Structure formats: structure tokens, C-alpha cells
Amino acid sequence: MIMKLLISPINEEEANICRLGGADIIDVKNPKEGSLGANFPWIISAVKKAAGNVPVSATIGDFNYKPGTASLAALGAAVAGAEYIKVGLYDIHTKEQALDMLVNIVRSVKDYDKNKKVVASGYSDHRRINSISPFELPAIGKKAGVDVVMMDTGIKDGRSTFDFLTEDQLTEFVARSRSLGLQTAIAGTIKFEDIPALKRIQPDIIGVRGCVCGGDRNSVIKLELVEKLKAQISMDQ
């Protein structure tokens, strides 16, 4: 299995660099609004144009329990051109809340275009942000009809998903999701030195920003780092 490389630019110039460097998915987000902060519809549309044939993903926010608001945001991202619509269950505390959120997001997206994919993201640092465990997500996501379940970090302070979860736990997350027919994505301050472990874990998608900015996610994406990461992921696969 070849893992796909998802990179998160913040504008069309960075999106073009991602495309040239070999990104498999270009992910539109707005770091000013949090880990999975939403960007503007016109930015999603501009990135879609810059991405060419590369699929575009868009985040709709780190959400608390607002199924209606989230559903509207998800539809907006879909209309703006995103093929993957990603929601963070940031301030969601129960399985019931998570299911209600995801069922309605899936309906709003799939009623518009059944081929678009919904990504439900949990957080490896869920204990420190007091949100639902990401290990609940595969079963809930399956029931709700999402396509991908994801692991990210809620607080971007330089600590990575690997600081909060072991390789065995991440392998279990991927295996459990795959057994339910769901794809998986792992993100959260992923570094070049994490790639060997990720190759063993084998998620479908690896999500990055900081490591292709030279370590500072608030800096600019660099073409040579995108190419280096893509080559490292592709090696021996």
C-alpha cells in the first residue's frame, strides 16, 4: 500500500508548490483559527484552481456541539470545490454528540455530491483538550457514513501525535478503522524522522504542514522539502 501525502497550504501560491512537489492531496486550512481552522470559500476555490488534477481537502473547523452550523460549513466547503471535507470533533464529549454531528455533516455533503468524502478527525491529545477519544471514532464514523477517520493534535505547540500515542496504539487505530471499511489519516506535527514508524503503521494518508515549512508551521512551504518528504514516503513502497 502506498501512503498518500496530504499537505496543508494556506493560499494558492503554497498550493502550487505542493502540486509541483508531488502532494497527493492539497488541504486548505486556516491556522489562525486553530488546528483544523476553516479558510474562506474563495480561498478553497482558488486553491482548487491552483491544484490542477490534485484532489483538494478543506477543513471546516475545530467544532463544539453545533450540528447545524457544522453541516452548513461542510456544504460550503463542498460547493467551493473540496473533494474531502474534514471536521474536527474538538469540543465533543460523548458518542451521541459525535454521531449527531457526523450524521448531519455526511447528509449535507452527500446530498450535494455523493462522490465527495467526509473526514472525521479526533485528537491524539484529547485528554488535554477534554474531547472524545479518537479510538471511539472508527465505530461512530462507520455508523455515520464517513469515509475517512483521522488523528491530529488539537494544540499546536510543537508536540506531535507520537508524543501522546505509541506506535502500537496508532497501529490499532488504523487496523480497527480498516476492519470497518474506513480509510485513515494521521497528522499532528509529523516530522521527517516519523516516516519510518508511519510506514510500519500504514495509514492511508499522512498529513503535514510544519515539516515542509522547515519546522515552523507559520512559515512558508518550501518546494525542496515537499519533494524530499514525497521521496522519503515513496521509497520502498
Catalytic residues: 29, 86
Q: What b/e string do you get for 25-57 counting C-beta neighbours within 10 Å, with b at 16 or more?
A: bbbbbbbeebbbbbbebebbbbbbebbeebbbb
Judged by phi (left if over 0) then psi (alpha if -120 to 50, else beta), residue 83 lies in alpha
Strands of 42-147 (E only): list them.
56-64, 84-91, 117-123
Distance CA 211, CA 104 (A): 34
Instruction: Quote the radius of gyration of the chain (alpha carbons, Å).
Output: 16
Closest-CA residue to 12 (of 24, 4, 2, 20): 20
Q: For residue 129, give the 3-state DSSP assignment.
A: helix
The H or E element that residue 25 is part of is strand 25-28
